[in-house]
Structure 1
Amino acid sequence: MRGETSLTSERAAREKFAPKLKAKGLDAGRIADELFGFTQILDTNIKLERALTDTSRPAADKTRLVTDIVSNAVDPLTVEILSDLAARRWSRIAHIANATEDLAIDAQLYQADAMGCTGQVAVELAKIHSALLNLSVLRSELSDPQSDPERRVTLLDHLFDKDQLNPVTLKLAEQATRDLRNRRYLYTIQWLIDKISEHCGETVVTVTSAVELSSEQIKRIIEIYSKKLNRPVHVNSVVDASVLGGIRVQYGAEVIDNTVVAKLKNLQRSVA
Structure 2
Amino acid sequence: MRGQSRDSLAAADDRLEALLPSVDAGRLGEELFAVVRLLDSSAGLRRAVTDPAREEADRAALVTRLLRGQVQESTADVVAGVVRQRWSEPRDLVDALERLGTVALLASAEQQGALETLEEEVFRFSRLVAADDALARALGDRTAAPERRGALVDRLLAGRALEQTRALVRQAVVAPRGRRLEAALQDVLELAARRRQRLVAVVTAASPLTPSQQQRLAAALGRVYGRGVLVEVDVDPEVLGGVRVQVGDEVLDATVVSRLAEARRRLAG
Report the TM-score, using the length of structure 2 for normalisation: 0.94
Q: Which residue of 2 aligns with 1:207?
A: 203
Moved more, 15-24 or 254-263: 15-24
**RMSD of the TM alignment (CA)?**
1.6
Q: Which residue of 1 aligns with 2:228?
A: 232
Candidates 128, 145, 164, aligned match of 1:168: 164
**Which letter maps to 2:78?**
I
Give runs of aligned pairs for residues 31-180 of structure 1, distance below 5 A. 31-158=28-155, 160=156, 162-180=158-176
Candidates 197, 217, 232, aligned match of 1:221: 217
Contact map agreement 1:145 1:180 (CA 8 A) in 2: no
Q: Number of residues paired by the alignment?
A: 268
Contact map agreement 2:30 2:167 (CA 8 A) in 1: no
Cα distance in 2, alignment partners of residues 252 and 180 from structure 1: 20
Cα distance in 1, alignment partners of residues 33 and 124 from structure 2: 24
Cα distance in 2, alignment partners of residues 189 and 239 from structure 1: 18
1:191 aligned counterpart, secondary structure: helix
Q: Does 1:196 align with 2:195?
A: no
Contact map agreement 2:50 2:86 (CA 8 A) in 1: yes
Contact map agreement 2:119 2:189 (CA 8 A) in 1: yes
**Which letter maps to 1:263?**
R
* Deviation at residue 90 of structure 1 after TM alignment: 1.0
Contact map agreement 1:207 1:238 (CA 8 A) in 2: yes
Cα distance in 2, alignment partners of residues 99 and 161 from structure 1: 26
Cα distance in 2, alignment partners of residues 115 and 233 from structure 1: 22
1:163 aligned counterpart, secondary structure: coil
Moved more, 243-252 or 160-169: 160-169
**Which letter maps to 1:136?**
D
Cα distance in 2, alignment partners of residues 161 and 77 from structure 1: 28
Structure 2 unmatched runs, 5+:
none
Contact map agreement 1:153 1:174 (CA 8 A) in 2: yes
Contact map agreement 2:153 2:166 (CA 8 A) in 1: no
**Which letter maps to 1:4?**
G
**Which letter maps to 1:233?**
V
Deviations 1:158-214 (A, max 9, x none): 4x3522222221221222212221222222122211111112111111111233332
Deviations 1:212-235 (A, max 9, x none): 332222111111111221111111
Cα distance in 2, alignment partners of residues 157 and 211 from structure 1: 30
Q: Which residue of 2 aligns with 1:15?
A: 14
Cα distance in 1, alignment partners of residues 226 and 242 from structure 2: 25
**Which letter maps to 1:149?**
P
**Which letter maps to 1:245?**
G
* Deviation at residue 53 of structure 1 after TM alignment: 0.5
Contact map agreement 1:134 1:240 (CA 8 A) in 2: no
**Which letter maps to 1:183?**
R
Contact map agreement 1:129 1:238 (CA 8 A) in 2: no
Cα distance in 1, alignment partners of residues 22 and 218 from structure 2: 30
